[in-house]
Amino acid sequence: MFDDMSDGAKWAAGIFVTGCVILAIVLAWFKIFGPLFNQAGYQNFNNSSQHLQAVAQKAADDCEQLAGTKDTVSRKAIEEDIYQVVSTVDLNRVQMPDGVRSCVNQAITDVTKGK
């Protein structure tokens, strides 16, 4: 079949076929295999003690930063970061000091009210 083709044409055909195979693999990932992985539940991770501790630590760090800044743009960015981090968990399950909890609640209020 390929005996009558020149070496350059054989290379071009080989590159084309390889490209088609790679394209088929990528399309299969996007259309078939990728959506299967998205069906995995994240709730177990979000409720794990490690994640809850990480959220509490991140909130404490952000609240410390928030207390130290006067710039309104920076404050808004930090408040949005707090809101984004704590939105992945049930705050009632997160153990944090009262000062941090107050800061987090204020940040959530400010972000949701658009301050």
Spans of all domains in the chain: 7-36, 46-113
Per-residue pLDDT for 64 more than 80? yes
Cα distance between residue 77 and residue 12, in whole Å: 52
pLDDT of res. 22: 97
Q: Whole-model pTM?
A: 0.62
Query: pLDDT, tens digit, for every residue of 84-106?
Result: 999 989 999 999 999 999 999 99
- CA-based R_g, the chain, Å: 26
Q: Which residue has the higher pLDDT, 2 or 65?
A: 65
Instruction: Report how far apart the first and last C-alpha atoms of the chain are (Å, whole number).
Output: 71
